[in-house]
Amino acid sequence: MPELPEVETTRIGLAAHIEKQQVKGLIIRQRQLRYPIPKSLDRQLPGQIIQTVTRRGKYLLVNCAAGHMIVHLGMSGCIRVVNAETKAAKHDHVDIIFTNGHVMRYNDPRRFGAILWSNDDPHNHPRLCSLGVEPLSRAFNTAYLHHASRSRRLAIKLFIMDSKVVVGVGNIYANEALFLAGIKPTRPANTLSREQYESLVSAIKQVLKAAIKCGGTTLKDFQSSDGKPGYFQQQLHVYGRGQQKCLQCHTRLTEIRLGQRSSVYCDHCQR
DNA sequence: ATGCGGACCTGTTAGC
DNA sequence: TGCTAACAGGTCCGCA
């Protein structure tokens, strides 16, 4: 579920429901996520009023006067806003209960996600302080990416998925952006031309924006509990289409593994 | 500094 | 049908 567009969609839905709301209490059923949920969260969050919900990469920041809750959804996490009567299901690890009766419920079967707490600027938190630029910001541009790639010989797909370079480009959208830009995922990063980086930057922005738009329209009703995937799926050109034909030239798509992740591309359209 | 492989954990699906 | 293996949207760490 969660690549950047899904996280951003979650952020928007969540913000609408919890901003300006006061935390009454919390229930932690499973403290052991990727990191143990710190006790400081239990101590400091109750009584707080949520000011804003922001995002840095795939981390959600729930900002209060006393500090900031930092939430990552990992591979399988999701957040829903439900009513207090809604019974907790399997893998519902944390509830943040608000005085208006709503509950922010964190569910994560694989527990690759995280819930942290920071008293200071969360951007200085060890998990966030080394992150690269935001893909939808102006700082993510041709000159930046081209320059950053000069010393890097690794496959371009792994390069754009490196969160120290740029955040939020996960496996699905890396595959899609490379297809749109006509670049083979295996090309060493330092062999691409400036022009190719220009296409790539624009493809990444385009793909992420389109997906956010999709998520935004289908997940509007955040109270409903059907976290259906598949909204952006109809628009995928290569991801999940290994062995099928290229939508542009009808060549059979190639599927390989790069960094233990599946990578699909068209040998004819991508150079 | 860079790049690679393994680790974390559960659920689902493909294959025998 | 039932079992096992492989794979799944993400990071982080340690070693070469």
- Structure pTM? 0.95
Which of A72-81, A189-198, A227-236 comes out lowest in average pLDDT?
A: A227-236
Instruction: Confirm whether A3 is a catalytic residue.
Output: yes
What is the model's pLDDT at position A228? 43
Q: Is the pLDDT of residue A223 over 60?
A: no
Of the candidates A24, A31, A205, A261, the residue annotated as catalytic is A261
Please tell me the distance from the alpha carbon of residue A102 to that of residue A201, in angstroms, as a whole number: 40
Quote the CA–CA distance of A156 and A146 in Å, as a whole number: 11
Q: From the CA of A111 to the C1' of C3: give the distance in Å.
A: 26
Q: Is A195 part of the annotated catalytic residue set?
A: no
The whole-number Å distance from A236's CA to B6's C1' is 30
pLDDT at A193: 98
Query: Which one of A3, A6, A8, A176 is the catalytic residue?
Result: A3
Note the pLDDT of residue A139: 97
Residue bearing tokens 């509830």: A95
Cβ count within 10 A of residue A111: 16
Q: Which nucleotides of B are covered by protein (CB under 7 A)?
A: 1-11
Q: What pLDDT, on the 0 to 100 scale, is given for residue A215?
A: 78
Nearest nucleotide (CA of A260 to C1')? B5
Please give the Cα distance from A223 to A18 (Å, whole number): 12
Give the CA A116 to C1' C14 distance in Å. Answer: 24
| pLDDT at residue A218, as a whole number | 47
Give the distance, in angstroms, between residue A46 CA and nucleotide B7 C1'.
34
What is the per-residue pLDDT across A93-130, written as a single tens digit (0 to 9) for each? 999 999 999 999 999 999 999 999 999 999 999 999 99
DSSP secondary structure of A78-146 = EEEEEETTSPP-TTEEEEEEETTSEEEEEE-TT---EEEEESS-GGGSTTTTT--B-TTSTTSSHHHHH
pLDDT score of A1? 66
How deeply is A168 buried, as exposed, middle or buried, from its count of CB atoms within 10 A (0-12, 13-18, 19+)?
A: buried
- In this prediction, residue A119 carries a pLDDT of 97
Band the pLDDT of A84: cuts 50, 70, 90: very high
Q: What is the pLDDT of residues A13-71, one digit of tens each?
A: 999 999 999 999 999 999 999 999 999 999 999 999 999 999 999 999 999 999 999 99
